[in-house]
Structure 1
């Protein structure tokens, strides 16, 4: 019997709804597999926790999570209670940085049963590999003076190590897919970091002669995500560019509520973390209409990560079959409650 130990952080808002619902589905998958079991340890860290304790997680929080095989996160943030920069940097980014989750992976594809806002999506299926540890989201910088003399400096930090690491991950992923890697750049406007990014991309590409490559400026690439997403396979991008592209990817799928993400530790020292792209959606909390698909697809990515690709594939098929039957939440144009979606996904799994 294989046991996967999950550190479960429902977090804020609808995270507290979609995470417990998704654990039910994981338990069904484990039961159907027969040789797998999930062991959960719950952590109440959230904005409510911050109001009570003054921190998003306790001082030894990272130490508490170390023994888990993965972190299963719901949502972080409630600007009505805690400023976003406090909640984000105190929990989500803290885990990413201290667990060296240097790669962020976010797929976007046409989903059966979900109407894309694109007139002709042409069955697009792409993955954005986002450098997750530095770049434009570096903490380097500061503020001096005040009033009219105030100066703010925000440094974008790019190291060869992290840049090569993200690019090699993208190329290895492309070898398992359709064999194409697109680099997101802006070397015609950002005169130091992006020419460096381009140089490293060409150097790494030379190690993969069988992979088709191209570079696209981020403004044009953002437009192409809307006008011709079917042309893309794997896209490698810096921290900021990857963040922007993946939100566009969620939008062209039909709802940010279905988009998943994986924060990958590639050196094996620490657990990886799996989370949906959507936020905490405080406006719909308690209404029973939160979309669980993003959390479920995240669970599918987690299963793939642990080598249970068949289970991950089955879960994704069950999700699409549920959506094809018209059982979907209001954000997708449906009338179903979250519990109804979960129930049907479980039925689909049991009938496979």
Structure 2
């Protein structure tokens, strides 16, 4: 079980593989125009992902109907759709076909939604509300919820393996491998395992940072990486995008922790303040609200700085970073 190390210095250091970017001025934050533009982009991508799920999940007229209905309940409507937007925003840097991007974005969203279904189960976080509606095990039952999550997990890789997603099998294999790593024990599932151990355990800042880099950050990083893979950007050319995704993922989680103590349940669409009630350490519990907010701003500035090699074509990625702290859900 992880123990408190006593040192907090290393938690915010950049990874060894990339140099620390020069932070931008703190005034570089989201404007009302940026937020309006981002809301439009999120709505458009959300509508496209809903359309994809609607096509992929027609309810059969047999005994599987409740399973498909549960998958649709979880996957269609609601949610921020941040990960799909990141796929589109990165893909547009390389003029990737939007049909390709939609299928890959849907695959990544399949993994995200499956993780939410399982995360909400009584054996995990035992939540009743998700995206403003009853969680799947409450709307249906636990067995159906488990199967719905399993099925969405399988659907993600079915989509990526299909030549309709990309003609080049090497691209498809790289997409599959990266999503598998990001979703498994070295990524999201590993972070969730750490989160289960966090209840009543005094995790230090470095451990919480590691936990969230896996649980939340891995799939955000995968979304950016997927756009680069589709754009056939060589791995050695992805350093800036990977730095962006790393810092964005941590900033996103700090914003989530702030929403957990400051947000409105009706706006957020899920139960709040559960981590504190469970005795889990968060960025806010360790740093306090103001220092946590400052760290998020610093990470956002770093994320934007990582995109210095790109021109206006990366403005959507920059706007997404600036949006993270301004959101209310």
Q: Quick check: which has more Rg, 1 or 2?
A: 1
Choose between structure 1 and 2 for higher RCO, CA contacts under 8 A separated by at least 6 residues: 2
Same fold (TM over 0.5): no
Larger % of helix: which?
Answer: 2
Larger % of strand: which?
Answer: 1
TM-score by length of 1: 0.28
TM-score by length of 2: 0.29
